[in-house]
Amino acid sequence: MMTVKNKHTRILIFLVCIILGYMITMQLKSHNQYQNLAIQRAEDLTVRLKEVQADRDKLVKELDEYRAGRISGAAQKEMDDLKARAGETEMEGKGIVFTLDDSKQAAKSGENKNLYIIHDEDLLRVVNELRAAGAEAISLNGQRLIGSSEIRCVGPTVLVNERRLAAPFVISAIGNPQTLESSLKLRGGVIENFKFWGIKADVVQSDKVRIPAFKGNRTFEFAKTVSAEEKKETGQTATDSKGVADNKASGDAGKSLDQQQASQKNAGGAQ
């Protein structure tokens, strides 16, 4: 085996070996670190890429929304609110379900049969009563009643939202159930009136009344919205001239009436 002669040499060999060992370990450590670093970096970049992609998708969507003229934030909230008020959304809440069915009583001889069946006017009275009692949303046989909804007799059926409905009629209303029910059960009110003719009328209070959204379409063929600027310009004169206009209108009406009478008279004379 190798024999080392003096102390000086031993120390130098010792130092060289320390350096070698140190270098070997550092090299191995660094190598592992690079690999880890590469993996870490790849992971970091993947995460970052995903984030950026999500951001991009969001922004693209936002851009699309803006391009499509859609709105977001506070305006969106306001729009939702307005939609709900206009009956464009399905509503749910406490309220009553009022069921009406035609009378099964046979009409007494000489009596009008029409008195025993439900008419548009009966439904209108009920709806009016409910509205007066603070109903927030009303539906009639699944048809949402909005400001422009009609209730009108069409032969044996009733036309609501341009749809024909037949008895039995189910009127659902959201509001204070107690108030709604008592408004219908007033002495001399709608239910008492129905009972007299044998028309079945049931009021059921419910914690969960569901009112569907308005499904028809609304278009303004003649009406145009008045923009805020126009309002400012014409508002002053409109209020000023209102009284005058009213007078004028009634004057016109009177005149035309006179004319009509005159023409009738003329016609009579001709005959």
Partner 1 sequence: MIYAIIGLIFGIVGGVLTPGFIPKIYAPYFSVALMAGLDTAFGGLRAAMEGDYDNLVFISGFVVNILLSVFFCYAGIKMDIDFYLIVILVLGMRIFNNLAIIRRLYLKK
Q: What is the binding site for partner 1 (CB under 8 A)?
A: 1-2, 4, 8-27, 29-30, 33-34, 37
Min separation Cβ 46 and partner 1, Å: 20
Q: Residue 18 or 49: which CB sits closer to partner 1?
A: 18
- Which CB sits closer to partner 1, 20 or 82? 20
Residue 79 makes CB contacts below 8 A (sequence gap 6+) with 71
Q: Are 123 and 238 in contact (CB under 8 A)?
A: no
Q: Which residues contact 190 (CB under 8 A, 6 or more apart)?
A: 122, 125, 126, 129, 184, 201
Kindly state the smallest distance separating residue 35's Cβ from partner 1, in Å. Answer: 11
- Judged by beta carbon, residue 29 or residue 231, the one nearer partner 1 is 29
The two structure tokens encoding residue 144 = 């949402």
> Which of residues 32 and 266 has its CB atom nearest to partner 1 in the complex?
32
Residue 206 CB partners (closer than 8 Å, separation 6+): 94, 95, 96, 97, 177
| Nearest-5° Cα angle at 89, 148 to 119 | 40
3-class DSSP state of 62: helix
Distance CA 205, CA 183 (A): 13
Shortest gap between Cβ of 13 and partner 1 (angstroms)?
5
Rank residues 8 and 108 by Cβ distance to partner 1 and give the closer one: 8
